[in-house]
Amino acid sequence: MAHISVFVGSVNGGAERLSDEVATTIEQAGHTVSVFSEPALDDIKNASHILIVTSTTGQGDVPSNLAGLFYALNSTFPMLTDKPFGVIAMGDRSYGDTFCGAGRSFDELLRDLQAKPVGNRLEIDACEDFEPWPVAEPWLKSWLEKLPS
């Protein structure tokens, strides 16, 4: 079984609440989990399996509690070669091109750092799905089944 590090970017608490349900499901599937809401660069460098759960703020920006990690990764560019990762991005489609911008930015950055995507990024639209868990749960279960051990 895997140890999954969940990195949470939340503005109003939606992604944080979702990450609680995500962590519970990960444990129920027999994996171990650590949740980081104020992560440091070493937290992601030391992770064996990475899951980003983030909302989007402003004009497609990463929430402030996760922005430091994003900028540290972007500026120091530590290779995360072959580390399996997934991204659950939350947003509001009415914002057009910036919809799920934080999740899309993390997905692109992790790929640039040579981490290995496991499946596709999940994008949750707050306009359609007020409660994100019913959308995230089947995606998460599928993602967990695809994980290398």
Which pLDDT score, from 0 to 100, does residue 149 have?
A: 63
In whole angstroms, give the CA distance from residue 10 to residue 18: 10
Please give the tally of structural domains in the chain: 1
In whole angstroms, give the CA distance from residue 66 to residue 131: 22
In whole angstroms, give the CA distance from residue 136 to residue 124: 8
Between residues 80 and 96, the one the model is more confident about:
80
Q: Which domain holds residue 139?
A: 3-146
pLDDT > 90? residue 95:
no
Q: For residue 98, what pLDDT band results from cuts at 50, 70 and 90?
A: confident
Helix (H, G, I), strand (E, B) or coil at 14: helix
pLDDT > 80? residue 5:
yes
Q: Quote the pTM value.
A: 0.95
* Average pLDDT of the chain to the nearest whole number: 95
In whole angstroms, give the CA distance from residue 32 to residue 45: 17
The domain spanning residue 75 has which CATH number? 3.40.50.360
